[in-house]
Amino acid sequence: RAYTFQTFRAFAIAAGLIFMATTLPKTLSPIAPEKAHVRQAGRYIKTLKGSETFRVFVFDDRITFYGDVKAIFLSDLDERKLLEKIRQRDAFYLATELKPWREHFPRIASDPERYGLIVAKEFPVLDKERLVVFRVS
């Protein structure tokens, strides 16, 4: 029995729709769903932003992207330089995941309040870690 072009076309369209329906949910999932805390922190910082130029110390500039603020990269600083920038109030906030924070700035991370960093908000991360937003005071 010979199939007509119309039958083949209907079959091809149905197969394509079934394929899309089964694969689309997987292709629309976020590339890195574990980074939702970065977006949340950025949106939180955006609510704090005033009209002046707003700067935030970060390791991950996606935080400042979502917050629509200027980044000052912590990876470019050592503890002495960071303390100097905190004293000069070069940024209003510091946002970081705790693991790189503790590794790169162990002395400041051990007692952030002593160095003028007050916890403003925390965001949960996978594996019982946190992203912390500090207010520079």
Mean pLDDT of the chain: 88
DSSP-derived secondary structure letter, 29: S
Interatomic CA distance for residues 97 and 126, integer angstroms: 11
Exposed/middle/buried for 126, CB within 10 Å: 0-12, 13-18, 19+? Answer: exposed
Percentage, residues of the chain above pLDDT 70: 90
Confidence of residue 110 (pLDDT cuts 50, 70, 90): very high
Contact 97, 131 (CB under 8 A): yes
Statement: residue 30 has pLDDT above 60: no
Tokens 């979502």, residue located: 66
Most confidently modeled of 27-41, 89-103, 114-128? 89-103
Higher pLDDT: 42 or 126? It is 42
Contact 75, 106 (CB under 8 A): no
Q: What is the pTM of this model?
A: 0.73
Higher pLDDT: 52 or 124? It is 124
Tell me: the pLDDT tens digits for 67-96? 999 999 999 999 999 999 999 999 999 999
Q: Is 22 helix (H, G, I), strand (E, B) or coil?
A: helix
Alpha-carbon dihedral sign for residues 34, 105, 133, 72: negative
Question: What's the rounded mean pLDDT across residues 36-52?
Answer: 86
**pLDDT for 31:** 52
Question: What's the rounded mean pLDDT across residues 33-60?
Answer: 85
CA 100 to chain centre: 14
**pLDDT for 116:** 94
Closest CA to 93 of 122, 123, 117, 61: 117
Statement: residue 32 has pLDDT above 70: no
DSSP-derived secondary structure letter, 51: S
